[in-house]
Amino acid sequence: MVGPLESDHTILAMSEKVEILSDDFDPTAVVTEPLPSPVTNGGGERVMVLGRNVHTTSLAVTEPESNDEFTGDKEAYMASVLARYRKTLVERTKYHLGYPYNLDFDYGALGQLQHFSINNLGDPFIESNYGVHSRPFEVGVLDWFARLWEIERDDYWGYITNCGTEGNLHGILVGREMLPDGILYASTESHYSVFKAARMYRMECDKVDTLISGEIDCDDLRGKLLANKDKPAILNVNIGTTVKGAVDDLDLVIKTLEECGFSHDRFYIHCDGALFGLMMPFVKRAPKVTFNKPIGSVSVSGHKFVGCPMPCGVQITRMKHIKVLSSNVEYLASRDATIMGSRNGHAPLFLWYTLNRKGYKGFQKEVQKCLRNAHYLKDRLREAGISAMLNELSSTVVFERPKDEEFVRRWQLACQGDIAHVVVMPSVTIKKLDHFLKDLVEHRSIWCKDGSQTPCLAKDVGTNNCVCPAHK
């Protein structure tokens, strides 16, 4: 019998949903029919089939019994389910390496505010008729990021988003409203939300090639810009790509635009700084992301490096740009300039709390720790005979994809093609990295028992980072 909470989720192809309930709640409701096998392609690799891949477990929502309020059985059942779920979260957090979330936080002081429905609907700078909000905290957070990215208080507009994707959707929308007939240029390594924005806004989109590092290829960008000189350019610049952690050269992108004849009023640059947008300001010799340069907007995620426990983000643009997007909403007694209507009013509290506790110096220490630990992981992988790459301004370590999908799921690795990566965050310690390395080396010795050679990753990480027989 399958329990209600499994630590590993298997993606299954199913014609119908299999409903599985807690066996200590209603054993008669448990369906014990055999579960089908995962969908695989001809090479045995797991594939995703829309509508057919589901979790193996489901916690049903059931109606309370008539005497539940007297017996307390339902409350006891729910308490036991939540307790087991917490245990699962604790266990899975121990093996979290592939996604850029900082799990090192303590927000116990904010527990007293969780009993309120806090909603920051509308413009953060205009108080609406809804009084249970956290706008003073939100504006305080926005001011902090405005100082970080060097834009005067009266010159910027921004808001706390529900996630990094919303920041990209908003930044690109502002660009589209500023330059309605503009072409969106984004590197092939850009986050999928950038191309989602192009589809949503029905924008012409030109994908630009990348260098082996994952950074945008400005030679290819130049060719595409020259081929479309009659149309304005809207660019997405990556401050840390999703897979390789590559940072696009903002200065070179601007120089390329100018050399191709694009005046500053004929291009708009959105900087997607989901993870590294907050790390780069604290890296010595790193190029600056600043509004002193001709950029239109910057967005970062709040649940990544900052360590907010719920998805959120920060989007900053120029005040003069937002005027083309906003409109009055009498119902709110505010202005509508955001993507979403209702916005999580708790997220600004968490961000404000962390920024105050850590400050610039605290973040600088954490950035330095992440970069040190990332170099440690890369060096240990190479010593173990495993191809690995680490970009100069990054804490994302790229290496050969493990051959066992169970191993990938156990360590929650993000994979693409022949490569996987570990994102070294403040919560990732040397002890955890050593545990991972030991586990990887042990499993790899089993995978290679058949005499198979180290795979060639030159096309993904470059010949200098590949340790296959041909490139040693």
pLDDT digit string (tens) for 62-92?
Answer: 888 888 777 888 899 999 999 999 999 999 9
Answer whether residue 397 shows pLDDT above 50.
yes
Residues 6+ apart with CB under 8 A from 376: 430, 433
* Weakest-pLDDT range from 19-28, 112-121, 447-456: 19-28
User: Mean pLDDT throughout 36-58?
Assistant: 57
Instruction: Tell me the pLDDT tens digit for each residue of 258-305.
Output: 999 999 999 999 999 988 999 999 988 889 999 999 999 999 999 998
Structure confidence at residue 2 (pLDDT): 33
Structure confidence at residue 31 (pLDDT): 36
Percent residues over pLDDT 90 in the chain: 71
Second-level CATH architecture of 359-465: Alpha-Beta Complex (3.90)
Per domain, the residue ranges of the chain are: 113-357, 359-465
Instruction: Tell me the pLDDT tens digit for each residue of 219-235.
Output: 999 999 999 999 999 99
Q: Give residue 169's pLDDT band: very low, low, confident or very high (50, 70, 90).
A: very high
Which residue matches tokens 């997007």? 325
Q: Kindly name the residue from 128, 387, 394, 395 that is annotated as catalytic.
A: 394
Instruction: Tell me the pLDDT tens digit for each residue of 235-248.
Output: 999 999 999 999 99
Per-residue 3-state assignment (H helix, E strand, C coil) for the chain:
CCCCCCCCCCCEECCCCCCCCCCCCCHHHCCCCCCCCCCECCCCCECCCCCCEECCCCCCCCCCCCCHHHHCHHHHHHHHHHHHHHHHHHHHHHCCCCCCCCCCCCCHHHHHHCCCCCECCCCCCCCCCCCCCCHHHHHHHHHHHHHHCCCCHHHEEEEEECCHHHHHHHHHHHHHHHCCCCEEEEECCCCHHHHHHHHHCCCCEEEECECCCCCECHHHHHHHHHHCCCCCEEEEEEECCCCCCCECCHHHHHHHHHHCCCCHHHEEEEEECCCHHHHHHHCCCCCCCCCCCCCCEEEEECCCCCCCCCCCEEEEEEHHHHCCCCEEECCCCEEECCCCCCCECCHHHHHHHHHHHHHHHHHHHHHHHHHHHHHHHHHHHHHCCCCEEECCCCCEEEEECCCCHHHHHHCCCEEECCEEEEECCCCCCHHHHHHHHHHHHHHHHHHCCCCCCCCCCHHHHCCCCCCCCCCC
Residues 357 and 341: their CA atoms lie apart, in Å, by 30
Q: Report strand pairing: 334-336 vs 327-329.
A: antiparallel
Structure confidence at residue 198 (pLDDT): 97
Q: Give residue 33's pLDDT band: very low, low, confident or very high (50, 70, 90).
A: very low
User: Mean pLDDT throughout 153-169?
Assistant: 96
Q: Which residue has the higher pLDDT, 242 or 23?
A: 242
Could you confirm whether 427 is annotated as catalytic?
Answer: no
- 336-342 — which CB contacts under 8 Å span 24+ positions? 336/122, 336/123, 337/123, 337/157, 337/159, 338/122, 338/123, 338/159, 338/161, 338/170, 339/161, 339/166, 339/169, 339/170, 339/173, 340/161, 340/162, 340/166, 341/121, 342/119, 342/121
Residues 376 and 464: their CA atoms lie apart, in Å, by 18
Q: Which residue has the higher pLDDT, 397 or 34?
A: 397
If you classify domain 113-357 with CATH, what class do you get?
alpha beta
Structure confidence at residue 127 (pLDDT): 83
Residues 308 and 314: their CA atoms lie apart, in Å, by 12
* Weakest-pLDDT range from 50-59, 135-144, 145-154, 387-396: 50-59
Q: How far is CA 170 from CA 27, 164, 341, in A?
A: 48, 10, 13
Residues 309 and 75: their CA atoms lie apart, in Å, by 26
Answer whether residue 50 shows pLDDT above 60.
no
Answer whether residue 7 shows pLDDT above 70.
no
Answer whether residue 11 shows pLDDT above 60.
no
Q: State the average pLDDT for the chain.
A: 87
